[in-house]
Structure 1
Amino acid sequence: MPESELTHWPVQRTCPFSLPAEYEKLRERSPVLRVRLPSGFDAWVISGLQDIRSMLTDPRFSSDRHNPGFPKIAEGLVAMPDFRASLNEMDAPEHGPKRREVLAEFTVRRMKALSPRIKEIVDAQLDLILRGPKPVDLVSTLSLPVPSLVICELLGVPYTDHDFFQTRTQAMISRSYTPEQRHLATKELLKFLDELVTAKVAEPTDDLLGRLVLKQRENGGIRHREIVELAFLLLGAGHETTAASISLGVVAFLKYPEQLEKALSSPEKMFDAVEELQRFFTIAEAAGARVALEDVELGGVLIRKGEGVIPLSNLADRDLGAFENPDTFDIDRGARSHVAFGHGMHQCLGANLARVQLQVVFESLFRRIPGLRPAIPVAEMAFKADSEIYGMHELPVTW
């Protein structure tokens, strides 16, 4: 195998704005390669955008982590036998009806209707920031509180418990934690949500989980564990990914002020900016991991039944054949074919919610604090290179 080939995965990002050097060597060919994972298992990685989109819509690939051969990335980290992450681990035909149960909660129209409330939440956080000392860490004062408050209101989770669920989520997605610590964090969060759902079954509330309880009760009976697992998925993904996108988006706008100026010129341009930010950073690179249910040829390579497949979404969203000058942050490109939110039936359920939050945050932040600037060089900031969700540990800013 040539020295330029990728042999081990994951590959750590060393710069938030650029691909890892190992990925640069693969781009022109977009190969499908066999790699060794930290767990000691082998899996296939896919690097081409079209190959990834094809794989994510092919029913011959399963998202169920309990299937033998599903990529086990971390050593000792295996699927818990009594738990699955709700919709993310369901295949057809089970997936469709379960997704439709909650799909109406995340329509574009419903998310736009939430926009005024999201703005209230953002402005309240900005009020606190402007009254406080400088410099300030934008992660702990804006990026994390805003999506946490929003998803708590949407689901009906008490925000007073935010420290509990944020720390558990961090433990679950960080590669620096041991498998035992990650399993414990998962169990603790499940127990917390089990008790919450039990309370909503006894007394349904006017929120997503409460409405789901009533809907299931009317349609034949409450599926308690399913609601707990859905709450687990939505709570974790609903705050951590958006928080990461807020922080990285702020850094990008500060680095490229001409793009910020365009974004602030109209709501349509801000929408384009948010979409380009998703492509540019692609924070959840391996979210679409699958296992082959039968022999499948992909990208000219035969993947055998039972072999794991990992999409290199970060690399695919910089595909030279799909995007012109893909390493340039350009909100005018109108990129809609990226896979930052996934693709196919497992496309991120909360994508519309994330888009609205990001538009409101960037619009409010940069209009209310036009002199915002990094308090330390970006090169000295701590990025989450050890996490399943790329983001920032801290974002010190001043004005």
Structure 2
Amino acid sequence: MAQPVVDPADDLPRFPMARRPGFDPPTEYARLRADDPVTPVRLRHGQRAWLVTRYADVRRVLSDPATFSSDPSRPGYPQLRPVVDRKAAPGSFLVTDPPLHTRYRRILAHDFTAARMEVWRPRVERIVEECLDAFLASARPADLVAGFALPIPTQVTAAMLGVPYADREFFTSRSRRHLDRSLPAEEVRAALGELESYLAELIAAKDRDPGEDLVSRLVTRYLRTGEVSRDELVGMTVLLLVGGYETTANAISLSVLALLEHRAEWERLVAEPERVDAAVDELLRYLGLTQHGLVRAVTEDVELGGRLIRAGEGVIVSLSSANRDAGRFVDADRLDVCRSAKGHLTFGWGVHQCIGQHLARLEMSLALRALVRRAPDLRVTVPLAEIPFHFETPFYSVRSLPVTW
């Protein structure tokens, strides 16, 4: 598809907006929340959409899937990726509406409940401690991303799904390219295609010889009975694999960096590690991990934030802006590990709220507890300005984080 050329005379703000290194969302968001909380913006392919920045408006959009559709085949669906999505891929439950979305979530829900995550707690604890043993035995300074933050969720996700951990270089490299919004569309498509082919072969192997893992259970219970197609199962597995390790690895590394940059907050957790569980939600609120937000197509005329939005237009809801809304969180731009951040929107809201949120919280909590207990003197070895951040992906992260102890 030829990409439309944006008229230089067009004075609409371009989205996504530039973000500076650190933890704050783009500076424009604070002004927009105050003065223009639902504002028109211009996207990469020349498309016009509405950017929603206030907490209440973002939550309203996410609570109404009938009016604000996740289906890319709907008119007005905002296109943020290099690849223009004309329809949802089979099994892609992130970009489907009820009742199809309901069917997909029902198939997966049992394996991601809070109770089910408690069953996984001993194994996750063991993985965390083993990763930290290896990390603390390495030469200093050491990269916290490669040595600790990434191996934990990669191992946990591989074990849960039944994906060979030995193949991590293959699937992590393809996942990164698939998510990289600075790459040409052809390269993004190729990376996803290679990942889908790999997982299709894995599913076929599970069909021949199922094990005790999640993919095997989905094969035996749903694929063999015809309740899901092979393409649908591949699509589900792509989302579970990429979402299972990528976002949590980012959250762990950015959490450590934020705490070390706000040393008093780190020291508070060192002195009172029982605060870590509550601190996880505050970190999730503060960090702006979902930096480009979520997109929806409007199915009927609706008033939002004082604007009339027509059917066939699109909206982008900024989770990072909503989480910094002073109307919802007092002193919202300050990291405070003693704060109750209940109600933050990092995992979304409504029917599409992240299915893996309980697992992510568990991994983050156990990783941070282990670090404050065993490496209380941890510190970053370079200034914040020298740390390489990922700005071109939908999930904010650092490429590397050199630390010593």
Residues in 2 aligned to 1:212 and 1:392: alpha-carbon distance in whole angstroms:
34
Contact 2:270 2:376 in 1 (8 A): no
Q: What pairs up with 1:16-55 in 2 under 5 angstroms? A: 16-29=22-35, 31-55=37-61
Name the TM-score, length of structure 2 as normaliser.
0.93
Number of the residue aligned with 2:166: 160
- Residues 49, 284 of structure 1: alpha-carbon distance in 2 compared, 3 angstrom cutoff: same
Q: Once the two structures are aligned, what percentage of the paired residues are identical?
A: 40
- Paired residues in the alignment total 394
- Partner in structure 1 of residue 69 of structure 2: 62
Change (3 A) 1:6 1:24: farther
Please tell me whether the aligned partners of residues 77 and 313 of structure 2 are also in contact (alpha carbons under 8 angstroms): yes
Distance 2:227 2:58 in 1: 38
Aligned-pair CA distance for 1:264 = 4.6
Q: How does 1:128-167 map to 2 (within 5 A)?
A: 128-167=134-173
Amino acid paired to 1:57? S
In structure 2, what is the Cα distance between the partners aligned to 1:215 and 1:85?
16
Deviations 1:292-321 (A, max 9, x none): 112121112111111111011111110011
Select between 154-163 and 87-96 the one with higher mean Cα deviation: 87-96
Tell me the equivalent position of 2:379: 373
The change in CA–CA distance for 1:84 and 1:390 in structure 2 (over 3 A counts) is farther
Structure-1 residue corresponding to 2:357: 351
The amino acid across from 1:21 in the alignment is T
Instruction: Report deviation, 1:366.
Output: 2.2
The answer to whether residue 79 in structure 2 is matched with residue 72 in structure 1 is yes
Cα distance, 1:85 vs structure 2: 5.9
User: Does the C-alpha gap of structure 1 residues 128 and 394 become closer, same or farther in structure 2, counting only changes over 3 Å?
Assistant: same
Aligned-residue offset at 1:332: 2.0
1:168-207 paired onto structure 2 within 5 Å: 168-207=174-213
In the other structure, the counterpart of 2:7 is none
**Conserved 8 A contact 1:285-1:311:** no
Report Cα offsets for 1:244-302 as digits up to 9, x if no partner: 10111001111223323433556652111000011001311344211011212111211
SS in 2 for 1:25: helix
* Cα-Cα RMSD: 1.8
The structure 1 segments of at least 4 consecutive aligned residues displaced by more than 3 Å after TM superposition are: 217-222, 261-268
Is the aligned partner of 1:271 residue 2:261? no
Match of 1:397 among 366, 382, 403: 403
2:95 alignment partner in structure 1: 89
CA deviations on 1:193-251 (whole Å, 9 max, x unpaired) are 11111111222221111111222157555521111111000100111100110111001
Change in CA separation of 1:372 and 1:128 when aligned onto 2, cut-off 3 Å: same
Letter of the structure 2 residue corresponding to residue 194 of structure 1: A
Point out where structure 2 has 5 or more consecutive residues left out of the alignment.
1-10
Amino acid at match of 1:63: S
Contact persistence 1:111–1:356 (CA under 8 A): yes
Whole-Å separation in 2 of the counterparts to 1:360 and 1:215: 32
User: Aligned equivalents of 2:41 and 2:172: distance in 1?
Assistant: 32
Give the 3 Å change call, closer, same or farther, for CA 195–80 of structure 1 in structure 2: farther
Write the letter of the residue equivalent to 2:365. Q
Q: Distance in 2 between matches of 1:294 and 1:202?
A: 47
Question: Structure 1 residues 39-48 or 285-294, which shifts more?
Answer: 285-294
Please report how far the alpha carbon of residue 84 of structure 1 lies from its aligned counterpart in structure 2 after TM superposition: 4.8
Which of these residues, 335, 338, 354, is aligned with residue 341 of structure 2? 335
TM-score (normalised: structure 1): 0.94
The offset of 1:6, in angstroms, is 6.8
Which ranges of structure 1 fall in alignment gaps of 5 or more residues?
A: none
Secondary structure of the 2:118 match is: helix
Counterpart code for 1:331: V
SS of match in other structure, 1:277: helix
- SS of the equivalent of 1:248 reads helix
Deviates most, 167-176 or 227-236: 167-176
Task: After superposition, give the CA deviation of every residue in 1:317-351 in whole Å (9 maximum; x if it has no partner).
Answer: 10011110000001222111111000000000000
8 Å contact kept, 1:276–1:329: yes
Contact 1:31 1:46 in 2 (8 A): yes
